[in-house]
Amino acid sequence: MTRKTIDDVAALAGVSIKTVSRVLNDEPSVRADTRRRVEEAMAALNYQPSLHARSLAGRRSSLVGLVYDNPSANYVFAVQSGAIARCRESKLRLFIQSCDGLDDRLIGEVLAMVDQTHVDGLVVTPPLSSNAELLEALRRRRLPFVLIAPDVPVAGAPSVVMDDRAAAREMTEYLLGLGHRHIGVIAGHPDHGSSRLREAGWRDALLAHGEQAGPDLVAQGYNTAASGREAAHALLAAAERPTALFACNDDMAAGAILAAHELGLVLPDQLSIAGFDDTELAGLIWPPLTTIHQPVYDMAYRATELLVQLVRGEEAPATTRLDHRLVVRASTGPPRSRLE
Amino acid sequence: MTRKTIDDVAALAGVSIKTVSRVLNDEPSVRADTRRRVEEAMAALNYQPSLHARSLAGRRSSLVGLVYDNPSANYVFAVQSGAIARCRESKLRLFIQSCDGLDDRLIGEVLAMVDQTHVDGLVVTPPLSSNAELLEALRRRRLPFVLIAPDVPVAGAPSVVMDDRAAAREMTEYLLGLGHRHIGVIAGHPDHGSSRLREAGWRDALLAHGEQAGPDLVAQGYNTAASGREAAHALLAAAERPTALFACNDDMAAGAILAAHELGLVLPDQLSIAGFDDTELAGLIWPPLTTIHQPVYDMAYRATELLVQLVRGEEAPATTRLDHRLVVRASTGPPRSRLE
DNA sequence: CTGCCCGTTGACAGCGCTGTCTTTTGCCGA
DNA sequence: TCGGCAAAAGACAGCGCTGTCAACGGGCAG
């Protein structure tokens, strides 16, 4: 059993291969009954057109690239899921390129992938979406691409973002509303654009309420649980201990909770801890984590949708902002002093 | 700037395109200095051969497929990472196919992907690696494939496995060694082959030590934290409460820990909880989870390596067994009765 | 010096499609 | 009935490579 080609279908349907091609590509000017005959022949032969032949002959590959660099498993998985879902709707295929450990060969590898596979466009996730050099190289290639959560907007490339700063401010205001006055922040990885925004949101809220936001309330983290734990220990060692900690992502919040447990602190009575992202993890730790829901799946879905538009030659909005949501769980509560 | 083709390289190097092709494919019978000239030309032009043209003209595509169906984010991420790492070494590309939500169209979609993209071979992860119908269809297509953790060995398809049963037994024996006598088990998803093996390992250990392994010590879970929590509540409601729980994966263990916290139980004094898989989660919850390290990344790496061998026409061992490891953390300890 | 062999290189067809251009068909009004 | 015209269908080249086979040249035995 040799593989079926367009010639087999054409022969069986009694038409030329070009007509089969037309049916395949949903082109007009094919009579309804001809179309039906062709479709029946395709079904009867279980015909599957060759991606490679189509890509070589035509200009498009029906392939969308997704590039990422070492963010967390949950993030990558959510992004992939969203992008795959949208691709399926348009009969596209997702081609995934991990840049993990590529370091300075990164740009070359991404471009090699782009050139070899002829992807029609690219979805770029953070932190690559803030890599100016990469983006510039993509632009020079005139390859359509969409950014997820870039640091700053890039001309000509639509972005899908959420309002990190407003969300962080919201979270901090929620903590202030509970009665906290000393709210420490565990900052995110300095190379990630969102880190600055989230820290800024925390500062916004404190200053708006006339509270201090001094350096003793800030500890640098690196988006990992280990760094969160360390940062939390540092913050909690201060003379005037914060009664609440806002970690700029859930992993660091989990690390902070570990630190709290190590110090024998009862959560949330003696210490409130909040995170950011609402990963799966947030609901699995104890106490369940108050956090900001970041709609990663939806952002990836939307980004892919925008890319589809670009590939078709349609316009796409420069910035698409999706809503976040404050998710209150059990890791936060009023400070003990107010209870006593 | 139009894209470079093999003709450009040939012209610059002053050879025929066939010679460039030979260099590209590491074929012998190219004189060293000719090879060098061609390589220099390729570098000078930044030439990237077209995947589609190569696949169409040759028989192979340099594409390896990876199929998965809804296991956890961590699992999928680890598998992808391992497979990508091995692919990179052989200059192959990984083509990912998610079967999430495909249900009965699953087999058709996988085969369509295989036929359209002409992947050279497939790495199949659980639970698909136990899908007899899918595997049979792949075999009929004479497509090389390697299974990760299949339920039962499949003739002609190498498998990469770990010894789930021995690992579960080891874990249970460790708990017995701590002094536990009533050890409950939260069984995994009934559709996953490993679930049975892990439960069997638990039973092996208990019976070998002359302990009961009655139905009141078994609760059905579905590999999710929510199901683990429910199962734990059920087990802990028994008249003679178990002093230790063995959850057949980490997510369910996390759910069980949630349940324990809800009941106000102090871990591990009043209750020990152990998991299986050693996902990232295990180190992030409180108390850190005692579990079995499953070498998912390594299994995927190895599976891809075996697939590369198969594609080359070499033999590959029917079964490759990788080592697990008992990872003791703080969620387990001697039962309280022994302390009193 | 001749012929043979092997290592090296090249000419050319064709992989399975799509783009372009041409031909055929069906349908309308006169 | 026929011309005219748009819609439908087909012929054909060629996308960028690899497989096949043929051509070339140099070393070496006879």
Residues A215-232 have pLDDT tens digits of: 999 999 999 999 999 999
- Phi first, then psi: give them for residue A288, nearest 5 degrees: -50, 140
The answer to whether A252 faces chain B, any CB pair under 8 Å, is no
CA distances from B70 to A206, B73, B95, B102, B127 (A): 42, 8, 17, 10, 9
| Mean pLDDT to the nearest integer, A48-69 | 95
| Percentages (nearest 5) of helix, strand, coil residues in chain B | 50, 15, 35
- Residues B296-303 have a mean pLDDT of 98
CATH superfamily for domain A164-294+327-339? Response regulator (3.40.50.2300)
Residue B246 bridge partners (DSSP): B185, B274
Note the pLDDT of residue B156: 85
Residues contacting residue B197 through CB under 8 Å, at least 6 positions apart: B164, B165, B168
For residue B205, give the amino acid letter: A
The residue ranking higher by pLDDT, A155 or B115, is B115
> CB of A302 within 8 A of CB of A160?
yes
Residue nearest to nucleotide C19 (CA to C1'): A58
pLDDT at A71: 77
Q: Do domains B63-162+296-323 and B164-294+327-339 have the same CATH topology?
A: yes
B69-113: pLDDT as tens digits = 977 899 999 999 999 999 999 999 999 999 988 888 999 999 999
Structure tokens at B4: 């470079």
Q: Please report the pLDDT score of residue A314 as a whole number.
A: 92
Mean per-residue pLDDT of chain A:
94
Q: Which of A328, A334, A217, A326 is CA-nearest to residue A268?
A: A334
Q: Do A52 and B48 touch (CB under 8 A)?
A: no
Q: A259-297 pLDDT, tens per residue?
A: 999 999 999 999 999 999 999 999 999 999 999 999 999
Judge whether residue B251 has pLDDT over 50: yes
pLDDT tens digits along A138-177: 999 999 999 999 988 888 899 999 999 999 999 999 999 9
Structure-block tokens of residue B206? 């208990």
Token pair, residue A305, equals 């949708």
Q: Say which of A93, A95, A286 has its CB closest to residue B258.
A: A286
Kindly tell me if the per-residue pLDDT of A337 is higher than 80: no
Contacts of A210 (CB under 8 A, 6+ apart): none
d(CA A319, CA A302): 11
pLDDT band of A339, cuts 50, 70, 90: very low
Q: How far is A212 from chain B (nearest CA, A)?
A: 31
What are the pLDDT digits (tens) for B153-193?
A: 888 899 999 999 999 999 999 999 999 999 999 999 998 88
The fold adopted by the segment(s) B63-162+296-323 is Rossmann fold (3.40.50)
In CATH, the number for domain B6-49 is: 1.10.260.40
* Whether the predicted pLDDT of A338 surpasses 60: no
Q: Render pLDDT for B305-315 as a digit per residue (tens, 0 to 9).
A: 999 999 999 99
Which residues of chain A neighbour B108 with C-beta distances below 8 Å? Answer: none
Provide the CA A36 to C1' D9 distance, Å, integer.
15
CA A209 to chain B, closest CA, distance in angstroms equals 33
Count H helices and E strands in chain B, helices first.
13, 12
The confidence score (pLDDT) of residue A29 equals 86
pLDDT in tens, A295-326: 999 999 999 999 999 999 999 999 999 999 99
**Which residues from chain A sit within 8 angstroms of residue B96, using beta carbons?**
80, 94, 96
List the single best residue of B64, B250, B267, B286 to mutate versus A (max A Cβ within 10 A): B286
Domain borders along chain A are 6-49, 63-162+296-323, 164-294+327-339
Residue B33 CA to D28 C1' — how many Å? Answer: 24
Listing DSSP states for B118-152 in one string gives: T-SEEEE-TTGGG-HHHHHHHHHTT--EEEES-SS
One-letter amino acid of A167: A
pLDDT of residue B337: 58
Taking the CA of residue B48 and the C1' sugar atom of nucleotide D11, their distance in angstroms comes to: 33
Average pLDDT for A234-239:
94
Q: Is the pLDDT of residue B340 over 70?
A: no
Q: Nearest C-alpha of chain A: how many angstroms from B275? A: 14
What gap in Å lies between CA B169 and CA B205, rounded to an integer?
5
The bases of strand D with some atom under 7 A from any protein CB are: 7-20
pLDDT tens readout for residues A60-100 = 899 999 999 977 899 999 999 999 999 999 999 999 999 98
pLDDT in the model for residue B72? 86
Residues of B in contact with A261 (CB under 8 A): 286-287
Q: How far is CA A337 from the centre of its chain?
A: 39
Between the CA of residue B164 and those of A137, B196, B210, B215, B252, what are the distances in Å?
48, 9, 22, 21, 16
CB of B19 lies under 7 Å from some atom of strand C: yes
Percentage with pLDDT > 70 across chain A? 99
